Chains A and B, each alone.
Chain A
Amino acid sequence: MTNMKTITELREAYLAGTYTPTEAIHAFTEVLKEHEKEVHAFLEVFDDLLEQAAEAEKVLKEHGAESPVLTGIPLAIKNNILIKGKKATASSKILAEYTASYDATIISKLKAAGAIFVGATNLDEFAMGSSTENSAFGPTKNPHDERRVPGGSSGGSAAAVAMGAVPAALGTDTGGSIRQPASYCGLVGYKPTYGAVSRFGLIAMGSSLDQAGPLTNSVADAELIHSIISGSDELDMTTISPDTYAEVPLKQTYTFGVPRDFLGSGVDADVMECFESQIEALKAAGHSVVDVELPLLEQGLAAYYVVMPAEVSSNLARFDGMRYGTRGKGEDLLDDYLAARAEGFGAEVKRRILLGTYVLSAGYYDAYYGKAEAVRVMMREELNKAFKTVDAIMLPTAPTPAFTFGSQEDPLSMYKQDIFTVPVNLTGVPAISIPMGTVQRDEKALPVGVQYIAPHGGDQRLFDIGKRTYDETR
Chain B
Amino acid sequence: MTKEEILHLGTLSRIRLSEAEAEKLHTEIDSILAYVSQVNDIAASGDLTKKTGAVHNVFRVDEVAATTNATADELIAAFPEKKGRFLRVKKILDND
Contacts and interface: CB of A to CB of B under 8 A. Distances in A.
Contacts of A334: 14
A98 B78 CA distance: 7
A351 B25 contact: yes
Interface in A192-219: none
Interface in A363-402: 367-368, 371-372, 374-378, 380-381, 384
Q: Which of A108, A313, A355, A376 neighbours the largest number of chain B CB atoms within 10 Å of its CB?
A: A355
Interface string B23-61: 001001101110111111011001010111010001010
Contacts of A305: 32, 35-36
B21 to A, nearest CB: 7
Q: How large is the interface on B (under 10, 10 to 19, 20 to 34, 35 or more residues)?
A: 35 or more
Nearest to B14: A337
Contacts of A376: 54
A342 B15 contact: yes
Contacts of A336: 89-90
A237 B60 contact: yes
Given A101-B70, A101-B74, A411 B32 contact: yes
B13 interface: yes
B75 A338 contact: no
A103 B78 contact: no
B84 to A, nearest CB: 15
Contact of A378 (B16, B31, B46): B46
Interface in A348-367: 350-351, 353-355, 357-359, 361, 367
A86 interface: no
A377 B81 CA distance: 45
The interface centre, meaning the residue of B1, B12, B81 with most chain A CB atoms within 10 A of its CB, is B12
Interface string A305-328: 110000001000100111111110
Interface in A105-119: 108
Given A336-B89, A342-B16, A296 B66 contact: no
Nearest to B31: A412
Contact of B14 (A235, A320, A323): A320
B17 A333 contact: no
Nearest to A84: B69
Contacts of B75: 101, 323
A305 B36 CA distance: 7
Contact of A368 (B28, B36, B79, B87): B36
Contacts of A372: 36, 39, 43
Contacts of A354: 6, 9-10, 13, 15, 25, 29
A238 interface: yes
A282 to B, nearest CB: 30
B15 A377 contact: no
Contacts of A375: 39, 42-43, 46
B43 A378 contact: yes
B25 A324 contact: no
A277 interface: no
Given A84-B69, A305-B32, A324-B79, A357 B39 contact: no
The 7 closest A-B pairs by CB, nearest first: A102-B70, A327-B80, A234-B66, A342-B16, A324-B78, A101-B70, A338-B16
28 contacts: A97-B80, A98-B78, A101-B74, A101-B77, A237-B58, A299-B38, A303-B42, A306-B36, A325-B80, A333-B89, A336-B90, A338-B16, A341-B13, A341-B16, A342-B16, A351-B25, A355-B29, A355-B32, A357-B13, A358-B9, A358-B29, A358-B33, A367-B40, A374-B39, A375-B42, A380-B54, A412-B32, A415-B32
Interface of A: 84, 97-99, 101-103, 108, 234-235, 237-238, 296, 299, 302-303, 305-306, 313, 317, 320-327, 330, 332-334, 336-339, 341-342, 345, 347, 350-351, 353-355, 357-359, 361, 367-368, 371-372, 374-378, 380-381, 384, 411-412, 415, 428
